[in-house]
Structure 1
Amino acid sequence: MKLSKIRTIVAAAVFCILAVCLIAGINMGTLSGFGPGSFGALCPLGAITTMLATKTLVPRAVFSIVIMALLVFLFGRAFCGWICPVPVLGKLRAFFRSPKKRRELEQAKRDEALDIAKFELGCGGKGGCESCSACKQQRAKLDSRHYVLGGALLSTAIFGFPVFCLVCPIGLTFATVLVFWRLFANADMTVAVVLIPLMLIIELVFLRKWCTRFCPMAGLMNLMGRFSRTFKPVIDDAKCLETSKGTPCSRCAMVCEADINLRHPDYGERTLADCTRCNACVDACPANAIAMPVVAKRGQAVKLAPNER
Structure 2
Amino acid sequence: MLSRYQIESCQRLFSEGYSHFIRQTPLWKLPGQALGVACAEVWLKLEHLQTGGSFKARGMLNRLLSNPIPPSGVIVASGGNAGIATAAAAKALGVRCEVFVPEVSPPAKRAKLAALGAQVVVTGAAYSDALQACLARQQQTGALLTHAYDQPEVLVGAGTLALEIEQQGGLPDAVLVSVGGGGLIGGVAGWFEQRSRVVALEPELAPTLFRAREAGRPVDVAVSGVAADSLGAKRIGELGWQATQAHVRDALLLTDESIREAQLWLWKELKLAVEPAAALPLAALHSGRYRPRPDEKVCLIVCGANVDPASLV
Question: Which protein has the bigger helix share?
Answer: 1
Structure number, greater radius of gyration: 1
TM category, shorter: under 0.3
- More strand as a share of residues: 2
